[in-house]
A and B are shown apart, each in its own frame.
Chain A
Amino acid sequence: MSGPVMPAADEATLSRRAEIVADMRVIVPGEGVVEAEHAMRAFESDGLTAYRQLPLVVVLPETTAQVSRILKYCNERNIRVVPRGSGTSLSGGALPLADAVLLVMSRFNRILDIDFANRTVTAQPGVTNLGITKAVEEEGFYYAPDPSSQIACSIGGNVAENSGGVHCLKYGLTANNVLGLEMVLIDGEVIRLGGKHLDAEGYDLLGLMTGSEGLLGVVTEVTVRILQKPEAARAMLVGFPSSEQAGQCVADIIGAGIVPGGMEMMDRPAIHAAEAFVHAGYPLDVEALLIVELDGPVAEIDDLIGEVERLAAQNGATTSRISTSDSERAIFWAGRKAAFPAVGRISPDYYCMDGTIPRKELPTVLARMRELSEKYGLEVANVFHAGDGNLHPLILYDANKPGELDRAEAFGSDILRLCVEVGGVLTGEHGVGVEKRDLMPEMFSDIDLNQQIRVKCAFDPEHLLNPGKVFPQLHRCAEMGRMHISRGQVAFPDIPRF
C-alpha cells in the first residue's frame, strides 16, 4: 500500500540510539524503557493498523518529573517525541517514527482527586475514559463524553483528540468537559491550565490544547467535570422507508425543542449487518433506522416520548418501538454499538471514515456515496450520529485482493471531499492524524493552515512533538515568522500611505 510520507528519519539520532536508550534508562529506571524489537512491536501502530512503524525506543514514564526530563533531554538534542495514550486512535495519531522516542503514558493510571462538591475528578492521563465513570458511579455520577472505545481509550488521549461519543449533542465534547490540565512543554517546563474554577485567565490555551493531537505538549494531569446520572433513560427504535424521512424526523424533533441524549441513524447495509450479528430485533425492510434516546427526569421523558412518537409517525415511520426496560433499551443500542464489528463479520476488512456534514445534506451525501460505491466497486455501510451530523461510512474491502486497499482509501478520500463540498468537515471526532493530513488543503488555505502552524510554533518551535501528523507540511517557524507586508488595496483611499 502507499501509506503517508513521514518526515525523513534523522540519521544522527538513529546513530546515537544506544546512547539515547542508556540515557532514558537513567531518567526512567526499572521496566520503563523498552528497546527490544519484539517488545516494541506492541507499539508499532495504533487503532489505524494499516500504518506501522517501529519507534526508536519506547519509554513509559511514571512521574511528571520524568516526563519533564525526557522532553528537556530530547529538546536539547533535537530528538523527536511521539506521545501515546492507549493507542486507540483511528487516525494514526500515535503512529511511531523511526527516529522518535515513543512516550507512552499508560503508567499514569491513578485517579488523584474526586470532589463531589465541585463535581470534578482529577486523573492522570492514562486513566481510561470509563475508569473515571467507574470511580464515581457509586455516588450516582458519571463522565459524559463516551467515545465507543471508552473501555480502553485514555483521558489524556481524549484531550489530545477532543473525543466525542453518542451523547455529545446534549452533553458536549471533551473540550466542553475538561476544566484543567497539567502539561509539560517540549523544553521540560511544567505548566497548569485552568483547574476546578471556570474559564481561563488570559488566552484559552486549554481550548487550543484540546484536540491538538499531541503536537503541543504532553498532558500529565486532567481535571474533568462529572455529572449526576440522569434519573432515567428510554430509547425509541424507528424505521423509515427513506433516509429523507428519517432526516426530516430528526430535524422535527430538534425543531420541537427536544434535545435527545443520543440520536443515531443507520442505513440498510448497516442495519442488516448489525441485525445478523446481535439479533436486536431491527426491522430489515427499512432504508433507515433511527435510535432516539431521551434521558432525564422520569416526568420529562414521559412528557416527551409521546411527542417523538408523533413526529416519527408524521414522517412516515413504518416501525416504532419504545423501550419498556433498561434491558430492552440496551438491546436497541446493542446493534448500533456493535455496528463496526458487525460489518467486520461480513467483510474481511473495513475502513471507517469520520466526516461531518450539515444534517440536511444527508440524503444528497448518501446518494452520491452510492454512485462512488459503484465507481470503486466497493460496498459501504453507514452509521450516523444524527443529532450532530457526524457520519461514519464503513467501506468494505479485502486487503488480500490486490488494489482493494488503495481503492478503499481513494473512495474514503472522495467521501471526505464530498463532506467538505456540502459544507462539512474532514473529521468529526477521530482526528486528522496521518490519515487525513494530506486532505487538509481541501478545507483550509495555506494562510489558514499557516496560522494553525503558528500556534504549533508558539509551543514547539523546532517541531519535535509528533511531527508528520495533522499538517501536510510543517514550515520552519523562523520562515513562518517573516512578514509579507502588503499595504492594502483601495478600500480606504483616504488613509495615508507611503
Chain B
Amino acid sequence: MTTFTPSSAAETLDALQWAVSEEAPLEIIGHGSKRGIGRPVQSEHAIDLSGLTGVTLYEPEELVLSARAGTPIAEIEALLKEHRQEFAFEPMDYGPLLGSEPGRGTVGGALAANLSGPRRLKSGAARDHILGVHAVSGRGEAFKSGGRVVKNVTGYDLSKGLAGSWGTLAVVTDLTFKVLPAAETEKSFVIRGLDDGPAAFAMAAGMGSSAEVSSAAHLPPSVTGRVLDGALKGPASTLLRLEGFGPSVEYRLKTLTGLLAAQGEIEVLEQAQSRQVWREIRDCLPYADGTSRPVWRISMAPSQGWKMVAELRLHAGADVFYDWQGGLIWARMEAEPDAEGLRALIAHFGGGHATLVRASVPVRAATQVFQPQAGALGQLAGRLKDQFDPKGILNPGRMG
C-alpha cells in the first residue's frame, strides 16, 4: 500500500501518471471526512491531497477566491468571514453524522461531493459557485477548465462536470469559486404543531412569497428536541429563514407573519439561535448519534417529499426531517435499508434520488449507495467515465 501525499499540482500529476502506467487504482482522499460515503473503494493505493493547501487568490471586491484542493473549508470560511463574505452554498459538514469531529473537510471535497446546505433552493450548491478548476484526469493529463470570472461560457463547463463525481473522473488540484457578501443578520420564523402535509404547504407559501425566504425546513416532533440544545423540544417546528440587512429582515418578518400567522403558534428565533439551528439542520446533527444506523439523503420535488414519507412509514421504521421546503429528506432507518423499495416509492411519487450517506461497511458493500442509472442514461454516464478515466484508476467502485 502506497499513499501519495503530493504537495503540488506537479506531484499530483506525477502520482497519477505512475498509477496510469501501473494500472494501479487509487483512492482519492482529502481529510477523509466523507470517506464513509459510497461503496468501499477497491484500491491498494491512495492519494492524500491534504498537503495541497493554501488560498492562492482572494479578491473580495471581485467576489472570487482560489485555493488548492486540500485547503480546509473551515480555514477558507474563517478568511471569508473577516471580509464579511461566505460561500453562499453553505457546504455541509458530514463529519459529525459520520462519526468524526466537526470542522474538517476540504474545498476539493466540497466540489467532489457537490456540497450544499439549507440555502440550496435560493443559492444553489457547489456546482453553482465553481468558476474554474485545474485537475488531473485518469489519463494522467493535467487540464484546466473555466476561469476566475463569474460570466463565462468559453468551452465546456468541465468544472460543473466534476461536481458530485466523488473523485471518479479526475483529481482536482486547484479550484476557483465565486464568493458573496454574507448576510448582515438573520432571523427565523417558526410555526409550531404542523403535520408534514400542512408544513409542506406553509413552506411553499413562504418560499413563494415576496419575503425572500432563504431556507425552509420542517422538524417533526421526534426531531425538535435534538436541535438548539432542546429549546424547540415539543411540537413539530416549521422554520422559515430570513437573511439580509436588519431593516429588510424586520420588514419581511412582518410579511411572513401576515401570510402565515393563522397556520399555528408562531415563534421567532433571533440571530444566534437562527444561525445555530440552520447549522444543525445543514449538518444533519439530529442523526449524529454516534451510531451507524442507516441514513438516507433523498431529493424530490418539495411538494412530494412528505407524501412519499407517509407511504414509507407504512413499510419501515423511519425517523425523518425535511429541508429545502420539503424536497430534501433526511431519513434514519430503524433496520437495514431496503434500497429498491425506497427508490420505487420515490419514483412513484414523481421521481428524485436517494443516497445512503451512512451505513456500516458491509451494508454499503451490499447496497447501491448512489441512485443507480438505467438504460441509455447509465450507458452515457459510463462513456463519460471512460473518457476521463479509461483504466478505472480513480476511486474504483465508489459510485458503482
Contacts and interface: CB of A to CB of B under 8 A. Distances in A.
A84 B169 CA distance: 31
B380 interface: yes
Contacts of B327: 118, 197-198
B293 interface: no
B21 A486 contact: yes
A488 B21 contact: yes
A296 B248 contact: yes
A182 to B, nearest CB: 11
B169 A203 contact: yes
B276 interface: no
A432 B17 contact: no
A179 B183 CA distance: 26
A195 B301 contact: yes
B157 A211 contact: yes
A486 B140 contact: yes
Contact of B151 (A164, A200, A436): A164
A199 B125 contact: yes
A9 interface: no
A197 B380 CA distance: 21
Given A161-B153, A423-B148, A485 B17 contact: yes
Contacts of A71: none
A118 B352 CA distance: 14
Given A257-B182, A427-B154, A497-B18, A303 B245 contact: yes
A207 B163 contact: yes
A269 interface: no
Nearest to B343: A201
Interface stretch (A223-231, A235-243, A320-328, A372-380): A223-231
B248 A299 contact: yes
Contact of A487 (B11, B18, B143, B144): B18
Given A118-B204, A168-B151, A203 B158 contact: no
Contacts of B102: none
A440 interface: yes
A368 to B, nearest CB: 18
Interface in A10-33: none
Interface in A420-445: 423-432, 436, 440, 443-445
B103 interface: no
B20 interface: yes
A345 interface: no
Interface SS majority for chain B: mixed
B142 A447 contact: yes
Contact of A427 (B153, B248, B386): B153
Contact of B161 (A161, A207, A432): A207
A198 B10 CA distance: 36
Given A448-B143, A491-B10, A390 B61 contact: no
Nearest to A483: B139
A175 B128 contact: yes
Contacts of A423: 147-149
Contacts of B212: 228, 296-297
B182 to A, nearest CB: 7
Contacts of B137: 451
A263 B165 CA distance: 35
A172 interface: yes
Interface in A121-175: 140-141, 161-162, 164, 168-169, 172-173, 175
Interface string B109-123: 000001010001100
B313 interface: no
Contacts of B125: 198-199
Interface in A277-316: 296-300, 302-304
Interface stretch (B93-101, B228-236, B249-257): B249-257
Contact of B149 (A296, A299, A388): A388
Interface residues of B, number: 108
Interface string B336-356: 000000000000001111010
B376 A185 contact: yes
Given A356-B151, A360-B62, A429-B151, A200 B164 contact: yes
Interface in B145-195: 145, 147-158, 160-165, 169, 180-182, 184
A491 B116 contact: no
A168 B152 CA distance: 12
Nearest to B85: A257
B25 interface: no
Interface stretch (A48-56, A94-102, A455-463): A455-463
Contact of B153 (A255, A432, A450, A492): A432
Interface stretch (A34-42, A74-82, A186-194, A402-410): A186-194
Contacts of B377: 191-193, 202, 205
Contacts of B121: 198
Given A199-B125, A390-B151, A429-B153, A299 B350 contact: no
Nearest to A190: B376
B258 interface: no
Contacts of B201: 117
Nearest to A253: B61
A255 B181 CA distance: 8
B255 A297 contact: yes
Interface string B3-39: 0101010110111011011100000000000000000
Contacts of B81: none
Contacts of A455: 156, 158, 161, 384, 387
A389 B178 CA distance: 13
A356 to B, nearest CB: 4
Nearest to A470: B155
A179 to B, nearest CB: 9
A129 to B, nearest CB: 16
A414 interface: no
A495 interface: yes
B52 to A, nearest CB: 13
Nearest to B84: A257
Contacts of B149: 356-358, 388-390, 423-425, 428
Nearest to B144: A448
B208 interface: yes
Given A254-B181, A486-B17, A487-B17, A191 B380 contact: yes
A452 interface: yes
Contacts of B210: 140, 228-231, 297
B238 interface: no
Contacts of B169: 203
Nearest to A356: B149
Contacts of A498: 21
Contact of A428 (B13, B152, B184, B251): B152
Nearest to A91: B153
A205 B158 CA distance: 10
Contact of B62 (A252, A358, A459): A358
B207 interface: yes
B116 A199 contact: yes
A259 interface: yes
Nearest to B5: A492
B390 interface: yes
Contacts of A192: 377
Given A488-B21, A492-B11, A389 B150 contact: yes
Given A117-B201, A447-B141, 5 more contacts: A118-B301, A185-B380, A197-B301, A197-B353, A443-B155
15 contacts: A172-B124, A196-B301, A196-B302, A202-B373, A202-B399, A208-B157, A255-B61, A359-B61, A390-B151, A423-B147, A423-B148, A428-B149, A451-B158, A485-B21, A497-B21
